[in-house]
Amino acid sequence: MLKSSQINSILVVDDDINTCAMIERYLQAVGYACSSITNPVEALSILKQGDFHLVISDIEMAEINGLELISKISAAGIKVHTIIMTGFTADYIYSDVIKAGASDFIQKPFQMSELKAKIERLNRERALLKDLQDLNTALGVLLQMGEKEREDFRGEVTSNLRELVFPCLEKLKNSHLNAVQRRHLEILESTLLDICSPFSKNLSDQHAHISSREVQVANLIKAGKENKEIAEILGVSVNTVLTHRHRLRSKLGLKGDKTSLKSYLNSIEF
């Protein structure tokens, strides 16, 4: 995560003291906090201790070259942009420098305005990246809020069903109903239980190969219904229910396992 969207602090590394002084004076004049050093090994030590946003380094230096410096900066976990300067264009090309991890490349001799333009381009990229990071954070917060609101709504619906609807259904179940009425009541109860519980959705999400009918059967098994009861509720034959049970065991990885399907379904955490 970027702490700042702008490059403010710059370290120039070049074993030519005149080049260091010239770039340092110019960048300070146009508003940057700039330091310079002629020893790349010492530069690495300074970078570990300081808070720089950009390193402008020569590629050919006595102790370690600019590409090696970039590698050591990266290995040390220092988050900083790098612009490589070189006058040896026959030895190094742009793709070599970028592949090494540099942010940009500038060929000596160069106009200071060209260097300034490259820094400004990096600043625009940093600002865009910062905006994207902030947007991503905001979206994450919105998603969390949406999830909480969804859970609160589901909790409210569940509470109302359990407190206001299910007691009435229980009274109806204990009244004198014929077989057809009882069957429809059980279907209604099963459907409402599905609404109350995330089981059906999560079972389908985690096992996309399980059909909607198998999810219905799984819900009824989970609720403790026997094969005959499930057949009556769903309006299918007992053999069809047995086929669904067999497929569920296979799809849930219970084929050849002695684990009770009901116990397994009740043990799944959601």
pLDDT in tens, 15-52: 999 999 999 999 999 999 999 999 999 999 999 887 89
3 has a pLDDT exceeding 60: no
Residue 187's identity, in one-letter code, is I
What is the b/e burial string over 217-242, where b = at least 16 CB atoms within 10 angstroms of the residue's CB? bbbbbbbebebebbbbbbebeeebbe
191 has a pLDDT exceeding 80: no
Listed in sequence order, the residues at least 6 apart from 209 whose beta carbon sits closer than 8 Å to its beta carbon are: 251
Residue 204's identity, in one-letter code, is S
Q: What pLDDT is attached to residue 270?
A: 46
Which CATH number among 1.20.1530, 1.10.3470, 1.10.10, 1.20.140 corresponds to the domain 176-267?
1.10.10
Whole-number mean pLDDT of the chain? 84
The CATH fold assigned to 9-133 is: Rossmann fold (3.40.50)
Instruction: Decide which of 73 and 196 is more confident.
Output: 73
Q: What pLDDT is attached to residue 154?
A: 72
pTM exceeds 0.75:
no
pLDDT in tens, 78-115: 889 999 998 765 677 778 788 888 889 898 889 999 99
Q: What pLDDT is attached to residue 53?
A: 92
Q: What confidence category does residue 232 fall into, taking pLDDT thresholds of 50, 70 and 90?
A: confident
Mean pLDDT of 123-138: 87
Q: What pLDDT is attached to residue 197?
A: 64
Residues linked to residue 13 through DSSP beta bridges, in sequence order: 37, 57
Q: What pLDDT is attached to residue 203?
A: 65
Question: What is the location of CATH 3.40.50.2300 in the chain?
Answer: 9-133
Q: What pLDDT is attached to residue 5?
A: 64
Q: What pLDDT is attached to residue 202?
A: 61
Question: What is the location of CATH 1.10.10 in the chain?
Answer: 176-267
